[in-house]
Amino acid sequence: MSALERHYSIGEIAALWNLSEDTTRALFRDEPDVVRIGTPLKRRKRAYITLRIPESIVQKVHEKLRRPAPCVTTASNGLEIRQAAMRARSGKGVTQ
């Protein structure tokens, strides 16, 4: 990462990826090397933080999102079923 590298706002990435700003902000909130600009939390006022995301981090997150999900199978009707996630949520199919 370089200070001269192109930095994107949340709105720019949201528009490029056709996502809401809230979803985009959540994707980048905990990423290292994201520039956080803002005022500290004041009494009775919320802190406002502006995020600027370097292009290299945008590419890294995009690659992470493009990876296929683990344990994805395709049913005969063509629908994707995330079996492992469904079992984990329901607590069924777990053997001890």
From 27-36, 41-50, 64-73, 75-84, the region with the lowest mean pLDDT = 75-84
CA distance 87 to 70: 14
Each residue's pLDDT tens digit, 35-61? 998 877 777 777 788 899 999 999 999
Each residue's pLDDT tens digit, 2-16? 778 899 999 999 999
Mean pLDDT of the residues in the chain: 78
- State the pLDDT at residue 72: 54
Res. 25 pLDDT band, cuts 50 70 90: very high
Tokens of 69: 């999900």
The pTM (predicted TM-score) of the whole model is 0.62
